Amino acid sequence: MKEKNKSQTLSAHILLAHGSKDPRWRKPFEMILDNCKISSPKKKFCLCYLELCKPSLIDTVQELKKNNPNISSIIIHPIFLSAGIHVNKDILSIVSDLKGIHPEIKFKLKVVVGENILVKDAIHKVITS
C-alpha cells in the first residue's frame, strides 16, 4: 500500500471583504463562502475582513499555515466593487508584509470583483429591472 505523499502542496482561496461591526452585514459574504465551498468542495476557501471585524487577512493566513503546513499558494479575492485606497494601498501593504513573513507561500492578489464583467452586468440588471 502506497503512503500518501506528505509533501503534497495545497492552494487556498481567501475571500477578502471590507468588514463591519454589524453582523448582519457579513451574511451575504458568508453565503458566498458557503456557495464556493459547495460548488468546489476540493478547494480550500476562507473568508476574512480588512477591518472592523475578525478574522483579519493576517490572522487567516496564520490559521491556514498552522492547519495546512504544506500550503504553497494563496489566492486573495477582494470582494470590493472598486479599487480605492483600501485595495491600492492597504491590501497591497498587508500582502507585501505576508510575503515577508511567509516567503514559502506564493500570494496572488486578484482584481476586485466589481471589475469583472459578470458583476457589472448583474448590477446593471438589478438596477434596470
Contacts 24+ apart (CB under 8 A), 61-65: 61/14, 61/98, 61/101, 61/102, 61/105, 64/12, 64/14, 65/102, 65/105
- Mean predicted lDDT score pLDDT of the chain: 92
Q: What is the CA radius of gyration of the chain?
A: 16
Structure confidence by residue, pLDDT tens digits, 106-116: 999 999 999 99
Structure confidence by residue, pLDDT tens digits, 34-90: 999 999 999 999 999 999 999 999 999 999 999 999 999 999 999 999 998 998 999
**Where along the chain do its domains lie?**
12-128
Which CATH architecture best describes the domain 12-128? 3-Layer(aba) Sandwich (3.40)
Taking alpha carbons only, the member of 102, 97, 95, 29 closest to residue 62 is 102
